[in-house]
Each structure stands twice: as structure tokens, then as C-alpha cells.
Structure 1
Amino acid sequence: MLDETDRRILRHWLGEPDAARAVLAERAGVTQATLGRRMERLRQAGVVKAVRARIDWKALGFAVEVSLRFTLDKTNPRAFDEFIAAARDVPEVVAIQTFLGRVDVRLNAVARDMGHWQEVYREKILALPHIAEVEALMLISTIKESEGLPL
């Protein structure tokens, strides 16, 4: 499906997603028209789902980041749906993922400081429905973060 030109475009686009099209085309070794056509084809094929901003939460004053792992009480057949719907309503929750296995759901949440985190955890997180078990992992540092693949 992808040829070497597509891979080269994706590598450069992932490396510098906000580069001007002229710069990206030059680095990928194609014309701007070719770049535009191929980028659109990659979007239509579902290879590129979205171009989005990556927020630095610390720069916005959210110094605490926590990953929460939940095992849900699955005796209620609507447990997943109700939990996820409620979690979406918590403004401090910035990511929700579901899993197969011992952990059912993972939430990533941010807070301004430990006092704010304590408030979010007690008043919003623990109030989520159908929690059987929760484990909180405080982020200390991010060593590697990449959305790129070896194309």
C-alpha cells in the first residue's frame, strides 16, 4: 500500500509536523503538488487520522501527571459504558484507554499540584462508577515519547 515516497513523506512529516509544505516537499524529495496529493491520499486511506496539537501540560501549570489503572466490577453489563461516560466528564482526565486483561481501563489525569490532585482523586476519580480496584502511578519523567514508526 505504501511506497518508499509515502514512507519518506511520513518520516519527515512525523519529524516536523508543523513544517511548511514547501519545506516538507523539499526534504521528502517531491514537488509540493505531489506532496499534497500523497498527503490527501494518506488521509483518505486512513493512514493519517488527524494532525493535532500536543499540549505541554506543565507549561500550562499542570505539574502533576498520573496514570490510573482500573479494574471494573463487571457484574453490571453496562459497567464499561457508564465508567467511560463518567470519566469523560472529568476535565482533568486527558486520556482514556481500554484493555483486555487484568486492567480494564487506564486514565491519564493532570493536576496543578498535589493539593489539586488530592481533590481530583477524592472528589472525581473515586466517584467514578463500578470501580473494583484502582492503582495510581505518578509520572516522574518521560524518557521517550514518539508517535513515529520505523518507516
Structure 2
Amino acid sequence: MLIDDADRRILRHLLADSDLANADLAARAGVTPATCWRRVERMRAAGIIAVPVAVINWRALGYEVEVSLRFNLDKTEPRAFDEFLAAARDVPEVIAIETFLGRVDVRLNVIARDMAQYQQIYRTRILTLPHIADIEALMLIATIKDESALPL
């Protein structure tokens, strides 16, 4: 689906404030409310605008530690990826799972309230995941940029 300048304006304003009412969004984008609603619905139907989700600030809930774990899996087992990913999904402290082509097979982002809790999660939940050949841990110090916006 091709988008035009009006669609781009709508998307820019939605990225800046996803809670805007349709009338406010239309006014900021310079279109009528009816036009804005139709365009937003068309972009939703095309999959350009995904379902709105709540973004939870887990640090505000007391989680101070984030560790990115990079795994290489034992690829001699044909179901290694599927079984590892299924087990990783069941770890509540895993907030992101990503797979890669290259030197790293899978990355998990794990959160914990403090280092003691992280050690407990690591020993009892992470090390028990199936088919691990190697793990590398990277402790998050600071997030410099975390943005899903496109240059529209």
C-alpha cells in the first residue's frame, strides 16, 4: 500500500501521541475527522498501524536489572530451536526473544529487581533451558535510543 503526505502526517502524530482522539489527530494532521478516521482504518487494515499496546515501564515497577543473554544452541538436535524457544517463552522475566542468522542463534532480554534475583533466575530458569551450547551475558548500563518511529 502506498501512503501519501496526509498519511505520513497522521502517522507522525500517532507516533508522537498514540492516545490522540480522532478529532485532535485530524486537526494536527490537517484533515477532516472523517478523512482521518478512514485513513487510519485503511492503514490498520493494511497492517501499517498495528494493534495499540500498553508500554509498561518495568523500571517504575522496581525492576532495576536488565541483561541481554546471547545463546548458541546445540544444532545437532533437529528440534533445538523450537524446544529452546518454547521453554524461553515460559520464563516470566524474559521480556524479549530474538533469533538471528550468524554467530548468535538467540538473544533473550531478562529483567530482575536486583542482582540477587537475577542470579536466582539465571541459575534456576536460564541454565535449565534446553540445548544450550554457549551463553554470553551483556549487562545493560544505559539505553541511548529506543525508538520505533520511522523517518516519515
Q: TM-score, normalised by structure 2?
A: 0.96
Residues 43-91 of structure 1 deviation map (CA, whole Å, 9 limit, x = unaligned) = 1111112211111111011111111111111111100100000000000
Match of 1:41? 42
Match of 2:150? 149
Q: Percent identity between the aligned chains?
A: 66
Residue identity in the other structure for 1:67? S
TM-aligned CA deviation for residue 20 of structure 1: 2.1
Match of 1:140? 141
Match of 1:7? 8
Equivalent-residue separation in structure 2 for 1:134 and 1:80 (angstroms): 15
RMSD of aligned alpha carbons: 0.9
Equivalent-residue separation in structure 2 for 1:69 and 1:131 (angstroms): 10
Match of 1:70? 71
Q: 4+ residue stretches of structure 1 with deviation over 6 A?
A: none
TM-aligned CA deviation for residue 28 of structure 1: 0.7
TM-aligned CA deviation for residue 103 of structure 1: 0.6
Q: TM-score, normalised by structure 1?
A: 0.96
Match of 2:53? 52
Q: Does 1:99 align with 2:100?
A: yes
Match of 1:30? 31
3-state DSSP of counterpart to 1:136: strand
Gaps of 5+ in 1: none
Gaps of 5+ in 2: none
Task: Give the stretch that moved more between structures: 44-53 or 114-123.
Answer: 44-53
Residue identity in the other structure for 1:131? I
